[in-house]
Amino acid sequence: MKVAALQHSLACECCAQQLDILHDVIATSEISIAKALMISEVAQIARVEMRMRDYLTLKWRNRAQEAAARAGAIVKAGGSVSSALSAVDKIMGKWAPEVKKRITADLKDVYELARKAGWKKATGQTKASLQYVVPNFTEEIDAGRELRVSKADKKPKKGPKKPDRRVAEVIPTLDQLDENAVRDLQQDQMLWIGKHYSKNVRDTLRRAVTPSVIEGVGHDEAGKRVAAALKAELGKVTVPKGFNGSAEKYFEGIAANTATNARVRGQVRSFSDIGVTIYEIVNPMDDRTTEICAYMNGQQFRVTDAEKQIEKLSAAKNPAQVKRAHPWLSAAKAKAIGAKGGAKGLTKAGLALPPYHFRCRSTVDISIEALPKLDRDAPSAASEPKAPKAAPPSTRLGDIGEKVFGRKLTDAEIDSLIGTKAKLLPGQSLTLIARESAKKESVTLGAGILDKDKNIVGTYSREFTRKAGKVDVHHGAFFIDKQFQNSGIGRNIFNAQIDAYVKQGINKVSLEAAEVGKYVWTKAGFEWTDRVQVADVLKGLEKYLSPKVGASAAKKIMSTIQSPEDIARLVVGKERVGKEFLIGRASKDPSSHIKMAQTPDKIKRL
């Protein structure tokens, strides 16, 4: 009996590992397919949601079958129902820790895809809806209808297709704020998964499977009854004052709400970075739409209010706190609040963001009309007239701007900080439009680079934060279409900004460098701020030099390295080994992105 139980346990562990491998293979293949077929981020999010749903369900089913079989075997061998249930607890207790790694990875994927989708929508790179519809377990799924992205199936207009002038795929750079957001998401979403068995299932099993189930029957029949009863109970979920249905439907809802939370937060972050101030709630509005979602569809809220609600959710430490920050109210109550207090009342009630119920399909979106309006009649940056000396204070940054900079800046000063007065190359007609979005302790100034036809061909952002009475600025990534790369635009904007920083008394400029940026910014005088990265790079440099000049000569060269700039300017013979080393570091290297900072007065112009 013990041998048979051991063999069964090993078989279940093997199956559990196979499900993990299958998940990873599918995730990797879907990324490759998405790149090859240029599948939209919204459609990719839908695929991740279905992947989470299937993975949670299959892993639960695998452990449930193992637990039921093990409990039946215990009772069949003469053991008590109590000891059988203890074995079930032990086996089902493996489920949450097992799924955590991959579900949190999927959450990160959804957030990052949502950041890109929201960024593209906010910068006008796409007009497609940010919502999608996936089938549920009760629907028949045929090959042609497995996935439908809302509003993406419109019939094409007749006539020749106009070329898409926005050939650049301009996407956001993910920074420490995004890492924090993903971490907070992973923590609060795992609150529901981590305690699922102990909170929603364990007590139900003990009420359903009692000694009375096996009264008056032999051991063999008792074992069969216990196994059957547990299999049935583990196949359904009953949440007090909540969900009551099959395990498959429950995990479908968990996956849907997990994906909704991740994409809502990712999209809101991009809206804020670009400078969008208003967003709206959208829902597919079909026969599955609930009354609460039908009411919330089309409701508009401020991006700053969404950020405040996300902060409250991030601070929540348990399910009760999450529910207080983001309650699920009835449609009648939401309507009453909306009728009395409008958008402000709904915001105060915690309804600024979906989900609004279990397996909610609502999300956040922006209409083209709500995008930051580009001043298409404005003169180009190259010909922009100088601001008058006695320019009035600007109101563009609001109160938060005054808190960050210590005073109200003029429009000309704000424009100089974003680099709109950078000198453009002859024959170019790009227009830079600055947009700003306020956050709790900082102000982010973003810019869209427009070509002569007013198409967006590049973006960048700068985040200004007040620390200990001084203002620091963090440079986000600079993206520009290939046709304008190496034309000097980025260099001119950077130089103009550094000049403005010196004039405005900015304390420090920070950034994260990757690829060629590791060489460019190091050469410009930026210091590396992460000691671990410095040690790693120095170790890697010596290893890189040894085959070229010998171990002894490599050590001698290393003794002359006093700063990162020395690495960038390192030449051996006629070979610029410093540049080659910094640019050629493998992407898997822990220092593939190097954190840097420097005071504006010490930064060399490009």
Given pLDDT bands bounded at 50, 70 and 90, which one contains residue 392? low
- Residue 38's Cβ-count burial label (10 Å; 0-12, 13-18, 19+) is exposed
pLDDT of residue 347: 94
Tokens of 544: 């890189």
pTM for this prediction:
0.63
Of 503, 498, 517, the C-alpha closest to 598 is 498
Given pLDDT bands bounded at 50, 70 and 90, which one contains residue 473? very high
Res. 310: pLDDT tops 80: yes
Q: How many angstroms separate the CA atoms of 160 and 109, rounded? A: 37
Q: How many angstroms separate the CA atoms of 600 and 506, rounded? A: 7
Given pLDDT bands bounded at 50, 70 and 90, which one contains residue 170? low
pLDDT of residue 328: 93
Tokens of 433: 């439009």
Mean pLDDT of 275-297: 89
Of 544, 475, 478, 531, the C-alpha closest to 508 is 475
pLDDT of residue 440: 59
How many contiguous H segments (helices) and E segments (strands) does the chain have?
21, 13
pLDDT tens-digit map of 128-162 = 888 877 766 544 333 333 334 444 334 434 444 44
CB 266 within 8 A of CB 110: yes
pLDDT of residue 4: 52
Mean pLDDT of 430-450: 62
Task: Please give the DSSP secondary-structure letter assigned to residue 148.
Answer: B
Phi, psi of 420 (to 5 degrees): -70, -10
- CA angle 451–409–366, rounded 5-degree value: 50
279 forms bridges with which residues in the sheet? 301
**What is the end-to-end Cα distance of the chain in Å, rounded?**
76
Between residues 349 and 408, which one has the greater pLDDT? 349
pLDDT of residue 463: 84
Of 346, 340, 368, 255, the C-alpha closest to 297 is 346
Mean pLDDT of 497-509: 92
Given pLDDT bands bounded at 50, 70 and 90, which one contains residue 588? very low
Between residues 349 and 8, which one has the greater pLDDT? 349
Please give the helix or strand (H or E) that residue 269 lies within, else none. helix 247-274
pLDDT of residue 327: 92
pLDDT of residue 424: 58
b/e burial code for range 155-193 (CB count within 10 A of at least 16 → b): eeeeeeeeeeebebebbbbbbebbeebbebbbebbbbbb
539 forms bridges with which residues in the sheet? none
3-state SS, residue 541 = helix
Question: What does the domain layout of the chain look like in residue ranges?
Answer: 2-152+165-365, 376-505, 507-606
pLDDT tens-digit map of 443-472 = 777 777 777 766 667 777 788 888 888 999
User: How many CB atoms within 10 Å of residue 537?
Assistant: 25
How far are the Cα atoms of 423, 434, 471 from residue 414, in angstroms, in the given order?
Answer: 17, 8, 14
pLDDT of residue 536: 82
Phi, psi of 280 (to 5 degrees): -130, 155
Q: Find which of 25-34, 169-178, 496-505 is predicted with most confidence, using mean pLDDT.
A: 496-505
User: Per DSSP, which regions of 451-548 are E strands?
Assistant: 456-467, 470-475, 479-480, 508-514, 527-528
Res. 53: pLDDT tops 70: yes
pLDDT of residue 581: 83
CB 276 within 8 A of CB 372: yes
CB 253 within 8 A of CB 354: no
pLDDT of residue 45: 92
Q: Find which of 31-40, 70-79, 192-201 is predicted with most confidence, using mean pLDDT.
A: 70-79
Comparing 28-32, 79-83, 389-393, which segment has the lowest mean pLDDT? Answer: 389-393
Q: How many angstroms separate the CA atoms of 110 and 46, rounded? A: 9
Comparing 75-84, 95-104, 175-184, which segment has the lowest mean pLDDT? Answer: 175-184
pLDDT of residue 425: 52
Given pLDDT bands bounded at 50, 70 and 90, which one contains residue 385? very low
What is the pLDDT of the chain when averaged over all its residues?
Answer: 79
3-state SS, residue 279 = strand
Res. 372: pLDDT tops 90: no
Q: How many angstroms separate the CA atoms of 217 and 509, rounded? A: 78
**Orientation angle between helical segments 95-122 and 2-37, nearest 10 degrees:** 10
Q: How many angstroms separate the CA atoms of 122 and 207, rounded? A: 53
Close Cβ partners of 101 (under 8 Å, ≥ 6 residues apart): none
Q: How many angstroms separate the CA atoms of 392 and 400, rounded? A: 18
Mean pLDDT of 389-393: 49
Query: Could you tell me the fold of the domain covering 376-505?
Result: Aminopeptidase (3.40.630)
Name the percent of the chain lying above pLDDT 70.
79
Give one DSSP letter per residue of 162-209, joined into a string: PP-S------PPP-HHHHHHHHHHHHHHHHHHHTHIIIIIHHHHHHHS
Please give the helix or strand (H or E) that residue 278 lies within, else none. strand 278-282
Task: Please give the DSSP secondary-structure letter assigned to residue 395.
Answer: -
Of 297, 319, 4, 362, the C-alpha closest to 189 is 319
Between residues 601 and 10, which one has the greater pLDDT? 601
